[in-house]
């Protein structure tokens, strides 16, 4: 806004963006909240249900399990990638390897590949006669050659580990950029004080990366809670015995397959509230005052 223009002119500059935000995000969200109060199949007139669809979330064991699976996936999609990202970024920065740009591109590559392609590729790798089990048998590790996606005990873990592989590239790139902003004088001072690798990481790198860790945790937690395509492609129908069902899959199943649009909207609203709540907690814990 140019000097001398009235303040209200500034609001006109943000009006187009605000209109798009209201039309394509806020209005659909509020409309979904309204639909969640009805028992509606998507075709005929709905009947008022009040908060029954929300009470169902706590009453149905399948829905509780879906939200539980989403919380488990946070470990694989968020906690593990952040830990691995910190270790890899610190190691790459400290060792000053040649071709750092190449390594950065390689680890970030899963982020630019369509998730459906990732899911199909890993579905083939994890098949009972796939490359992973063949390699394990060749090494004499037959006991570890599972039907990864066909057994209830391993299906969710297998999907989660693929998520770890995808998200680690994002965290490494974020943390490398963050470490690059840390003054070399701090590392030099720490070394003059006799700090080793671990103390240098704990005293210099980790505190300086708190804002980057907050961003990484927020992005990966949101990604884990809204994951759908990876689960849908790798384990159709929610895996063996619904062992990999997640809220996003339940929304799709109820809205487009079983005609429970009101229930699907209730799950979506609950998931949105959960995302906001966890994001607020993450920003509070990881992005607090240094």
- The Cα 33–Cα 20 span in angstroms is 19
Domain extents for the chain? 56-287
Place of tokens 């490494």: 172
Above 90 in pLDDT, residue 162? yes
Alpha-helical segments (H) within 147-209: 152-180, 184-192, 197-200, 206-208
Long-range CB contacts (within 8 A, 24+) of 54-57: 54/266, 54/270, 56/263, 56/266, 57/266, 57/267, 57/270
Q: Say whether pLDDT at 151 is over 60.
A: yes
**Separation CA 245–CA 253 (nearest Å):** 10
In the chain, DSSP assigns E strands to 38-39, 47-48
User: Is the pTM higher than 0.85?
Assistant: no
Q: If pLDDT is split at 50, 70 and 90, which confidence band does 157 have?
A: very high
Q: Is the pLDDT of residue 289 over 60?
A: no
Span 78-90, mean pLDDT? 92
Average pLDDT over every residue of 67-92: 92
Residues forming beta bridges with residue 39, ordered by sequence position: 47
Q: CATH assignment of 56-287? A: 1.10.3720.10
* First CA to last CA distance, the chain: 34
How far is CA 289 from each of CA 33, 78, 209, rounded to the nearest angstrom?
35, 22, 12
CA distance linking residue 242 with residue 30, whole number of Å:
30
Burial letters for 206-231: b for 16+ Cβ neighbours within 10 Å, e otherwise? eebbbbbbbbbbbbbbbbbbbbeebb
Query: Cα 289 vs. chain centroid, distance in angstroms?
Result: 25
pLDDT band per the 50, 70, 90 thresholds, residue 216: very high
Q: What pLDDT band is residue 290 in, cutting at 50, 70 and 90?
A: very low
Mean model confidence pLDDT for the chain: 87
């Amino acid at each position: 806004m140019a000097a001398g223009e009235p303040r209200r002119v500034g609001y006109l500059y943000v009006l187009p963006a605000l209109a798009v935000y209201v039309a394509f995000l806020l209005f659909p969200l509020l409309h979904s909240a309204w639909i969640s109060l009805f028992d509606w199949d998507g075709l005929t007139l709905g009947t008022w249900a009040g908060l029954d669809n929300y009470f169902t979330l706590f009453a149905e064991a399948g829905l509780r399990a879906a939200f539980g699976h989403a919380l488990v996936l946070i470990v694989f999609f968020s906690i593990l990638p952040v830990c691995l990202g910190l270790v890899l970024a610190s190691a790459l920065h400290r060792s000053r390897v040649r071709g750092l740009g190449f390594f950065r591109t390689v680890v970030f590559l899963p982020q630019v590949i369509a998730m459906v392609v990732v899911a199909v590729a890993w579905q083939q790798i994890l098949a009972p006669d796939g490359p992973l089990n063949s390699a394990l048998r060749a090494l004499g590790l037959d006991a570890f050659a599972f039907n990864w996606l066909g057994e209830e005990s391993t299906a969710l873990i297998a999907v989660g580990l693929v998520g770890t592989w995808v998200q680690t590239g994002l965290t490494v790139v974020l943390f490398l950029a963050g470490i690059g902003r840390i003054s070399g004088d701090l590392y030099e001072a720490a070394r003059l004080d006799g700090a080793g690798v671990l103390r240098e990481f704990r005293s210099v790198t980790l505190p300086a990366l708190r804002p980057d860790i907050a961003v990484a945790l927020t992005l990966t937690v949101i990604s884990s809670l809204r994951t759908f395509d990876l689960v849908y492609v790798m384990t159709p129908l929610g895996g063996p015995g619904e062992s990999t069902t997640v809220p996003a899959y339940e929304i799709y199943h109820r809205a487009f397959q079983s005609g429970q649009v009101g229930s699907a909207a209730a799950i979506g609203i609950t998931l949105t509230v959960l995302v906001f709540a966890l994001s607020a907690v993450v920003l509070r814990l990881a992005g607090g005052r240094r």
